[in-house]
Amino acid sequence: MIFQSKPQPFPMTKFIFANQLRGIAALLVVMSHYFGVFFANQDLLATLTFSPNVHAKPAPWVHMFELPYQGPSGVALFFLISGFVIPFSLKKTSLPGFLVNRVLRIFPTYACCLGLGTLMIYLSAHYWGQTFEYPFRVVLANALLVFNQLDMPSMDCVNWTLSIEIKFYLLAALGAGAFFRRSPAWLLGFLAAAMLATWGWTQIPSRPFILFFMELNYIIFMLIGSLFYQHAAGMISTRSLLARIAVTLAAFSYTWSIGPQQSQFPAVTWFYYSAVLVFGACYALRHRFKPQRTLDFLASISYPLYCVHALFGYSALKMLMDIGLPFGIAVALTLPAALTLAYAVHLSIESSTNALGRKWGERLSRNKVMAAPLAV
Residue 355, pLDDT above cutoff 90: yes
Q: What is the pLDDT of residue 259?
A: 87
The pLDDT confidence band at residue 371, using thresholds 50, 70 and 90, is very low
Q: Is residue 270 part of a domain?
A: no
**Neighbouring C-beta atoms of residue 321, cutoff 10 Å:** 17
Instruction: With respect to residue 199, please indicate whether it lies within any of the assigned structural domains.
Output: no
What residues contact 43, with CB distance under 8 A and at least 6 apart?
53
Q: What tens digit of pLDDT does each residue of 157-179 get?
A: 999 999 999 999 999 999 888 99
Evaluate whether residue 163 is within a structural domain: yes
* Position 293 in a domain: yes
Flag whether 49 is in a domain.
yes
**26 to 30, 92, 191, 298, 303: CA distances (angstroms):** 6, 27, 29, 8, 8
Q: Which residues, 6 or more positions from 91, have their beta carbon under 8 angstroms from its beta carbon? A: 179, 180, 371
- Report yes or no on whether pTM surpasses 0.75: yes
pLDDT tens figures, 103-131:
999 999 999 999 999 999 999 999 999 99
306 Cβ partners below 8 Å, 6+ apart? 26, 29, 30, 78, 158
Which domain does 111 fall in, by range? 16-53+69-183+222-231+282-363
Q: Residue by residue, what is the 3-state secondary structure of 93-110?
A: CCHHHHHHHHHHHHHHHH
CB 169 within 8 A of CB 86: yes
Domains: count for the chain: 1
CB contact set of 190 (below 8 Å; sequence gap of 6+): 175, 178, 223
Query: Letter for the amino acid at 87?
Result: P
| H or E element that contains 16 | helix 16-32
| Residue 9 lies inside a defined structural domain of this protein | no
